[in-house]
Amino acid sequence: MSRFSRSDFTLESFRRQLANVEALPQLCLLGLVSGVITGALMVGFRLLLTWGATLYMPEGNSEAFEGLPNWGRALLPLLAVLLIGLLLYRQKPSARKLGVGHVIERLTYHQGRFPRRNWLNQWWVGVVSVLGGLSAGREGPAIHLGAAASSGLGQQLRLPHNSLRVLVACGTAAGISASFNTPIAGVIFAMEVVMMEYTIMSFMPVILASTMGALVAQVLYGAEPAFQIPDISLGSLLNLPWIVATGLVIGGLAGLFITVSRSQRIIDLPLWPRLALVGIATGVVAWWYPQVQGIGYDSLASALNGQLAMDVLIALVIGKLLITALTVAGGVPIGIIGPVLVVGASTGALSGLLGGVIWAEKAADPGIYAMLGMAAMMGAVLQAPLAALMALLELTHSPHIMLPGMLIVVVACLTSRQCGGGEGFFVSTTRNGLHPLQQPLMQALSRVSVPAVMERSFARTPRMLTFFQAKRLLETNPVWLVIERSSEEKPVLAFKAAELARWLLEHDEAPAESEERESGMIDLLEIPGQRLEMAPISLQATLSEAFLALQKDSLGALYVVHGYRPKQKRISGIITRGAIERYYHYTDARETEIGPRQGP
């Protein structure tokens, strides 16, 4: 039986294990820690909203804009955009990126590493946008705060970048889970919207993180679902055609939302006219219909229970949809998931009321349509049908609603793709028509870090050395020789040790002349053989980073740098284009071989 040594439990060993694709136990441990951290942050964010509401909101309720005087709730959005403009837009453009879109960007182009300034900005911008009466949700801030904090844990421990990607997904899932008490929907959202892939190695840590996020939130807020859903059923299947029609309408509204939020005419306006437009439009609508302000969960609960008048429903469908999209186009970084759910539920409730007028005998309760509309709008705007269906199931606790739910979500998603440009709200950046996270090769290479495939057998040597030094150099049987240059401007070169061994064998002379040859010098740049120009790459980097570096600079190889201080850096290994290709082809062949055998 093999025994564990103390070195197996060191942080350095933990990092090496995480570099491989099989590091499932280590990733699961990180998922547990990430879920606890994100759940605690989400609780803290909700407490900030509660404490802020006690300053001026009726009964300290962050959703009670109806209790404020008309002038007060109309003035709040103007004050909110003024504060955001003064404090946020004085910072550099990169510091203004917040929310889910920022999470996806950092995961796609920065290996899941987050700037601290953006994370700090997300706290106060999230609170100001919600309590300031803008149409904004708390899920976007929760996802950013959780994903960045989880990634920050990995950065502090100097974990390889492939594990940072999983930590980002863990923080995302736990943020959604803690917001709605929907752990399954959190997992699917993280995989479908952020990671854009489904793998066992990612699923298990994300599931654990989502579970822990929900548990931490339940300690303070209880295990009750986010909304109290009435006990109602669809009834007659004759409602299905009307559900399809509702899905078409919701898909069109989702396309309108995406189109307005990306309106170049609004985006190109100067800063202060943009912010003024957002504040004035929100204030004007809120003067008569304060339900459009804030997250709107109180209005959502009322729509599900059939307690909203028709004019309020219309204001929520049109007013909240347009001012939310206008706020996004105006450059105010807000969470959109909460407002989208409110708009969808209101549209569904309106459709249910109209269906009752047309066919009172067979029409289902408007609450059913409100539930379906909520899921359809979420799925259509985000292009995340599975996440929307899981949210519907967990929020309603009604399995019988899944059949019409699948129908309306698919119809709405297809309609939105036609009306809104064929992509979800958060996936707005494409490269050659394909988002980088959707490229199979880059997905496969991003799951592994360079220590998993780098060649560790090498020897460092100066360009000039004697015969005796050359022979001593080969005694350890290195695969590569790293030729160090006389200045930093000259590239470091890699040379096959076998080429030097062959040259020494060919030039091995008679014993009488050997002493004379031992004193001569060998120029490693003059020995026949292929020499590869190399550039440095971090030990934490993924194979996708290495692949892109080799493609970009037309290099033959990379030397892996270990150490975090300039004077302590050392070379840990060499990675070539061939090593990456061999890994990818071997993984692809292995997955093809074992794929058909998966299952019961």
Domain termination residue (choose one: 384, 406, 437)? 437
Q: Which residues contact 548 (CB under 8 A, 6 or more apart)?
A: none
In angstroms, the CA 154 to CA 173 distance is: 17
Percent over 90 (pLDDT), the chain: 46
What's the pLDDT score for residue 171? 95
List the structure tokens of 107.
Answer: 């995961």
Asked if 120 and 241 sit in the same domain, the reply is no
pLDDT tens-place string over residues 51-60: 999 999 998 8
Contact between residue 335 and residue 126 where contact means Cβ atoms under 8 Å apart: yes
Q: Where are the beta strands (DSSP E) in 65-198?
A: none
pLDDT at 429 over 60: no
Domain assignment present for residue 229? The answer is no
Spatial CB neighbours of 419, under 8 Å, sequence gap ≥ 6 = 251, 252, 254, 255, 256, 258, 259
In this structure, the answer to whether residues 429 and 471 fall within a common structural domain is: no
Give residue 440's pLDDT.
Answer: 67
267 and 169 co-located in one domain? no
Q: Are residues 433 and 541 in the same domain?
A: no
- Of 76 and 22, the structure prediction assigns the larger pLDDT to 76
d(CA 76, CA 132): 5
CATH number at residue 304: 1.10.3080.10
Residues 299 and 322 in one domain: yes
CB count within 10 Å of CB 83 equals 15
CA trace torsion 89, 94, 98, 101 (10° rounding): 130
Tell me: the pLDDT tens digits for 353-407? Answer: 998 888 877 778 888 999 999 999 999 999 999 999 999 888 877 788 899 999 9
> 312 and 383 in one domain?
yes
Q: Is residue 158 part of a domain?
A: yes
Domain encompassing residue 567: 445-597
176 burial type by CB count under 10 A (0-12 exposed, 13-18 middle, 19+ buried): buried
CATH classification at residue 526: 3.10.580.10
Please check whether residue 392 is in contact with residue 375, taking contact to mean a CB–CB distance below 8 angstroms.
yes
Count CB neighbours of 588 within 10 A.
13
Domain boundary among 385, 412, 437: 437
Q: Is the pLDDT assigned to residue 435 strictly greater than 80? A: no
Give a yes or no: residue 232 inside a domain.
no
230, part of any domain:
no
Q: Are residues 135 and 255 in the same domain?
A: no
Q: What is the pLDDT of residue 471?
A: 85
Check whether residue 218 and residue 342 sit in a common domain. no
Task: Give yes or no for a contact between 42 and 179, defined as CB atoms under 8 angstroms apart.
Answer: yes
Same domain, 457 and 375: no
Nearest to 173 by CA among 383, 31, 386: 31
Provide the strand spans (E) within 306-415: none
Q: Does residue 186 fall inside a structural domain?
A: yes
Mind listing the pLDDT tens digit for each residue in 475-508?
888 888 888 877 767 788 888 888 888 888 887 6
How far apart (Å, rounded) are the C-alpha atoms in residues 179 and 163? 24
Residues 430, 497, single domain; the answer is no
Instruction: Tell me the pLDDT band of 516, cut-offs 50, 70 and 90.
Output: very low
Number of independent structural domains in the chain: 3
Place of tokens 């004085």: 90
Question: Per residue in 522-566, pLDDT tens?
Answer: 888 888 888 888 888 888 888 888 888 887 766 788 888 876 565
Which DSSP category does 365 fall into?
Answer: P
Residues 361 and 419 grouped into a single domain? yes
Q: Which residues contact 537 (CB under 8 A, 6 or more apart)?
A: 450, 545, 546, 549, 558, 559, 560, 561, 575
Strand 458-462 vs strand 492-496: parallel, antiparallel, or unpaired? unpaired
Query: What is the token pair recorded at 207?
Result: 């599931």
- 1 belongs to a structural domain: no
CA 521 vs CA 97, 465, 468, 505, 510: distances in Å: 58, 5, 9, 16, 18
Question: Is residue 89 in a domain?
Answer: yes
> Does 93 share its domain with 204?
yes
**Domain final residue, candidates 378, 407, 437:** 437
pLDDT single digits (tens) 107-143: 888 888 999 999 999 999 999 999 999 999 998 999 9
